[in-house]
């Protein structure tokens, strides 16, 4: 079970909004976190805290392939992303960094900013911790993708694959 506080966003949150191109010359996660979501909420970095969730409407992460979008969200403390849909490359980047992206229709209609919600990965449900009757199903990750997230990201999987042959 993973629980966290909700920050809600709308449709079409693109990667230029998540982390604008002008900040991409500095790869430090801390630097990137300072500007996360600046395009829609300039103070977001000072409000978000460790373990928080994002709940968004459709098309979260459209646009550029910049992995810094995921690095910035993760460094700012975001642990779980719930959205009605995710853009393809952003989704890959989130999975590869072990940041859980869950597709959850209607999530933005049901949950509110500031609300604490919990995710039961085994049962495939999300519910409000204060009002457990407020609950939703989400789409379970396909097995090969769940394996990457569970390992904490693609790097951990590659580590074992790359280092094993050299031991032989």
Partner 1 sequence: MSEMTVCEKILSRTSGQESVRPGEIIEARPDLAMSHDNTYLVYRSFKEVGASRLKDPSSIVVVLDHRAPASTVNSANTQRFIREIVNRLGIENFFDIGTGICHQLLIERGLVKPGMLILGTDSHSTTYGSIGAMGTGIGATDMASVWSKGSLWLKVPATIRVEITGATPKGVFAKDLALILVGKLGVMGADYCCIEFYGEYISNTSISERMTLCNMAAEAGAKSAIVPSGSGSKDNLSIQSCSIPDKNATYLTSLRIDSQTAEPIVAVPPSVDNVVSVRSVEGTKIDQAFLGSCTNGRLDDLAIAASMLNGKKVRSSTRLIITPASSEIYLAAAKEGILEILVRSGAVVTNPGCGPCLGAHQGILADGETCISSSNRNFRGRMGSRDAEIYLASPATVVASAIEGKIADPRRYLE
Which chain residues interact with partner 1 by CB under 8 A?
Answer: 12, 14, 16-17, 20-22, 24-27, 38-40, 42, 58-59, 62-68, 70, 85, 87-89, 92-93, 96-97, 142, 144-145, 148, 153-155, 158-159, 161-163
* CB atoms inside a 10 Å sphere around CB 161: 9
Tokens of 6: 């909700």
CB 115 to partner 1: min, Å: 27
Instruction: For partner 1, give the closer residue by CB, 130 or 161.
Output: 161
Provide the strand spans (E) within the chain: 2-9, 53-56, 80-83, 100-103, 116-120, 125-128, 135-137
Among 95, 63, 66, 96, smallest CA distance to 81 is for 95
What is the chain's percent helix, strand, coil content, to nearest 5? 35, 20, 45
Instruction: For partner 1, give the closer residue by CB, 49 or 139.
Output: 139
CB 4 to partner 1: min, Å: 24
CB 70 to partner 1: min, Å: 8
Tokens of 133: 């009757």
Instruction: For partner 1, give the closer residue by CB, 6 or 89.
Output: 89
Instruction: For partner 1, give the closer residue by CB, 26 or 49.
Output: 26
CB 21 to partner 1: min, Å: 4
* CB atoms inside a 10 Å sphere around CB 29: 14
Among 98, 100, 97, 106, smallest CA distance to 8 is for 106
Instruction: For partner 1, give the closer residue by CB, 3 or 151.
Output: 151
CB 161 to partner 1: min, Å: 6
């Amino acid at each position: 079970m993973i629980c966290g506080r909700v920050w809600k966003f709308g449709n079409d949150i693109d990667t230029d909004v998540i982390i604008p191109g002008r900040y991409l010359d500095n790869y430090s996660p801390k630097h990137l976190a300072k500007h996360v979501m600046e395009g829609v909420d300039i103070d977001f970095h000072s409000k978000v805290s460790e373990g928080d969730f994002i709940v968004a409407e459709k098309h979260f992460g459209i646009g550029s392939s910049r992995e810094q979008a995921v690095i910035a969200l993760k460094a700012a403390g975001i642990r779980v992303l719930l959205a009605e849909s995710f853009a393809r490359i952003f989704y890959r980047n989130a999975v590869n960094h072990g940041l859980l992206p869950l597709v959850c229709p209607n999530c933005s209609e049901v949950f509110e900013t500031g609300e604490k919600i919990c995710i039961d990965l085994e049962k495939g449900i999300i519910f409000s911790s204060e009002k457990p009757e407020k609950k939703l199903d989400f789409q379970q990750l396909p097995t090969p993708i769940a394996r990457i997230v569970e390992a904490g990201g693609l790097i951990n999987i590659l580590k074992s694959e790359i280092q094993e042959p050299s031991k032989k």
